[in-house]
Structure 1
Amino acid sequence: MSKRDQYIATMKLQLDELDAKADRLEAKAAEVKEDARAKYKEEMAKLRQQSKLSKAKLDELKDAGEDKWEAMVAETEKVRDAFTHSFNYFKSQL
């Protein structure tokens, strides 16, 4: 497996793990009191949007030519890091 393929596989695994954690967090948020539920649903929608953006960046990375690879890696990591940060913040609010 090339370094590029290994990187893509690792990034996909990290994003899939974050999605699974988000699923569990969403279930936990559904158990909160009614008045807080709307806020959590809104935050969860933002988290899901970041997940979609992260996966779209990963797809772009897969399709990137060698000339754009390094720049795409940095962009993909920034998007993943933002998703991770948002997830951790949301988790801390529950």
Structure 2
Amino acid sequence: MTDRDTYIEKTKAKLDQWNAEIDRIKARAEEAQADAKIEYEKQLEEMRQQRDEAQSQLDEMRQASDRAWDDMKSGFDKAWSEIQSAFDQALARYR
């Protein structure tokens, strides 16, 4: 497996983890009272947006040529760090 494949698999695994966290919080939201439910839904939407942005970037990385991938990786690392931070902040509100 190439470094690129390993990188993509690690990123995919993190997205899978985020999907599981979103599902867990969604289950909590469904049990919450009306006021709390609104806040849950707001945070879930924020988390979904972060996840979708990360998925979009991962899709671009998968389709990039080897040469383009090398150029894209540093930009993706920076964007991924920002996305992960925002997702983790939203998730921390429910732990």
Q: 1:29 and 1:75, CA in 2 relative to 1: closer, same or farther beyond 3 A? A: farther
Structure 1, gaps ≥5 residues long: none
CA distance in 2, matches of 1:26, 1:49: 14
Deviates more, 1:74-83 or 1:59-68: 74-83
- For 1:33-75, what per-residue CA distance to the aligned partner results, in whole angstroms no more than 9, with x for missing partners? 2112112212211211211111111010011122321342233
Match of 2:91 in 1: 91
Match of 1:72 in 2: 72
Please show how residues 4-15 of structure 1 align to structure 2 within 5 Å. Answer: 4-15=4-15
Match of 1:43 in 2: 43
Q: 1:70 and 1:86, CA in 2 relative to 1: closer, same or farther beyond 3 A? A: same
| TM-score in terms of structure 1 length | 0.80
CA distance in 1, matches of 2:88, 2:70: 27
Match of 2:16 in 1: 16
- RMSD between superposed Cα atoms in Å: 1.9
Q: 1:39 and 1:56, CA in 2 relative to 1: closer, same or farther beyond 3 A? A: same
CA distance in 2, matches of 1:53, 1:17: 15
Structure 2, gaps ≥5 residues long: none
Q: Which amino acid aligns with 1:7?
A: Y
Runs of 4+ in structure 1 over 6 Å off: none
The sequence identity of aligned pairs, in percent, is: 30
Query: What is the CA distance between 1:12 and its match in structure 2?
Result: 0.7
